[in-house]
């Protein structure tokens, strides 16, 4: 396992640096490292590390969501309430609709199977979007209109909606039917996640303040460990309650960090954000290399031009849905184009659930996985490249 970790970190960092010198986003070098080292090309990674890959990817996501929460102001979120709520479900819903209406015409799938495929592809990738929005907030691009905050909030809720729909469509395909609780679980998961995160954040604040009043200084490095432990506990609670009640652990983690941002002094929250930013340097490599390792490149070759066409149609529907969410806002055309670009990338959710239909023995499993792999290879670089190249032109920098 140690050899595999060394390869992931060193080769991932090297390829990321090489592509960055070519003015290509670092993520592409990391994804390429995972594909190259993964079990479907060189098979250079230990099976034990691939076995815990989902947990390692989740740890990396936790780190960047904590940093995102420490960069978010509650006042900014209040400004983006309605469009952020719409962006949490409308773009995904439009993409799923595209697959339901058109995939049976282009691909060998039924309407129900097309719905499953659309649900797999419907989620935006927080792993690609969140770090870029955090970076924009730090550089103050688009912050005068709270654009990074809008995209960050919508992308954080989007996955909850899509995964619930995916489970519902799987139940339909297996003939187990749909329960009302499946749909009630969407707002319930969001509300419980936010509520639990707020509670944990407030308790952590009281703990840090209590130690301070007793003149027992808690070092910022110790605070980072405590916050990480609390975040891991939130994710563990989500897993323990699975099947009993819906709860979004990742949303709880970001809510917890937002409370700490609001309650702690500006200097403390800034230092904590900087420390989590340093942790992200290693976590980012782990996340994207392991996402790449989960990609079976053979399925891309089997997808064919029809799958490519269907993917392009789905992205058009998705972009139209994103544009609809922004109607009635004070965003200009350039800023809306940036929001559309930022909602294109797919990676983490597709890598996590793309193989589920195949593992369950569904007839559509192979084609769903093929299109999911294709979507990662095309949209993750496309979205990352688009955001990195366009934000200076499309967004206005706020004066310091």
Cβ contacts of 152 within 8 Å, gap of 6 or more: 68, 72, 129, 130, 133, 134
CA–CA separation, 266 and 361 (whole Å): 53
Cβ contacts of 203 within 8 Å, gap of 6 or more: none
pLDDT value at residue 176: 57
**Whole-structure pTM over 0.85, yes or no?**
no
Residue 76: pLDDT above 80?
no
Q: Is 45 helix (H, G, I), strand (E, B) or coil?
A: coil
The tens digit of pLDDT for each residue in 281-340 reads: 888 898 888 888 877 777 777 778 889 999 999 999 999 999 999 998 889 999 999 999
Round the average pLDDT of the chain to a whole number and report it. Answer: 86
CA–CA separation, 292 and 348 (whole Å): 10
Q: Pick from 115, 135, 124: which is nearest to 88 by CA?
A: 124
Instruction: Bin 177: left if φ > 0, else alpha if -120 < ψ < 50, else beta.
Output: left
Instruction: Bin 232: left if φ > 0, else alpha if -120 < ψ < 50, else beta.
Output: alpha
Residue 117: pLDDT above 90?
yes
pLDDT value at residue 322: 95
CA–CA separation, 275 and 271 (whole Å): 6
Q: What DSSP line would sit under 126-142, residue for residue?
A: HHHHHHHHHHHHHHTBS
pLDDT value at residue 353: 83
The tens digit of pLDDT for each residue in 189-222 reads: 888 888 999 999 999 999 888 766 666 677 888 8
Q: Pick from 388, 399, 382: which is nearest to 345 by CA?
A: 382
The tens digit of pLDDT for each residue in 123-169 reads: 898 888 988 999 999 899 998 898 998 998 888 778 878 887 887 88
Q: Based on C-alpha coordinates, what's the Rg of the chain? A: 21
Most confident of 126-130, 176-180, 216-220, 383-387: 383-387
Helix (H) or strand (E) holding 393: helix 365-394
The tens digit of pLDDT for each residue in 17-59 reads: 998 888 777 888 988 999 899 988 899 999 999 888 888 888 9
Instruction: Bin 132: left if φ > 0, else alpha if -120 < ψ < 50, else beta.
Output: alpha
The tens digit of pLDDT for each residue in 311-321 reads: 999 999 999 99
CA–CA separation, 198 and 200 (whole Å): 6
């Amino acid at each position: 396992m140690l050899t595999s970790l060394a390869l992931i970190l060193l080769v991932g960092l090297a390829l990321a640096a090489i592509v960055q010198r070519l003015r290509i986003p670092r993520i592409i070098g990391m994804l390429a490292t995972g594909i190259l080292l993964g079990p479907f090309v060189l098979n250079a990674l230990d099976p034990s590390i691939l076995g815990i890959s989902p947990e390692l990817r989740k740890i990396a996501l936790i780190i960047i969501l904590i940093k995102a929460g420490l960069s978010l102001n509650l006042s900014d979120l209040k400004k983006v309430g309605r469009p952020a709520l719409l962006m949490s479900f409308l773009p995904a819903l439009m993409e799923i609709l595209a697959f339901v209406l058109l995939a049976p015409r282009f691909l060998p799938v039924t309407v129900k199977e097309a719905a499953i495929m659309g649900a797999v592809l419907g989620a935006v990738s927080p792993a690609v979007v969140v770090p870029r929005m955090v970076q924009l907030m730090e550089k103050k691009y688009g912050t005068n209109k709270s654009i990074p905050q809008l995209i960050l909030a919508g992308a954080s809720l989007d996955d909850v909606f899509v995964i619930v729909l995916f489970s519902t469509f799987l139940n339909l395909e297996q003939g187990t039917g749909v329960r009302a609780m499946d749909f009630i679980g969407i707002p319930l998961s969001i509300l419980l996640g936010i509520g639990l995160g707020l509670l944990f954040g407030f308790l952590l604040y009281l703990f840090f303040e209590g130690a301070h009043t007793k003149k027992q200084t808690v070092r910022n490095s110790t605070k980072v460990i405590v916050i990480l432990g609390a975040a891991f506990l939130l994710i563990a609670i989500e897993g323990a309650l699975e099947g009993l009640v819906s709860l979004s652990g990742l949303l709880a983690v970001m809510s917890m960090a937002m409370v700490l941002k609001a309650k702690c002094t500006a200097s403390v929250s800034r230092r904590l954000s900087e420390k989590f930013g340093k942790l992200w340097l290693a976590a980012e490599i782990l996340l994207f290399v392991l996402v790449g390792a989960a990609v079976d490149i053979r399925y891309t070759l089997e997808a064919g031009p029809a799958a490519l066409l269907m993917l392009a149609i789905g992205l058009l529907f998705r972009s139209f849905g994103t544009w609809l969410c922004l109607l009635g806002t004070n965003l200009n055309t350039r800023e809306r184009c940036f929001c559309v670009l930022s909602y294109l990338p797919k990676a983490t959710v597709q890598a996590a659930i793309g193989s589920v239909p195949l593992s369950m023995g569904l007839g559509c499993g192979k084609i769903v996985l093929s299109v999911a792999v294709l979507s990662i290879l095309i949209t993750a670089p496309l979205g990352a490249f688009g955001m990195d190249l366009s934000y200076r032109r499309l967004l206005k920098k706020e004066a310091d």
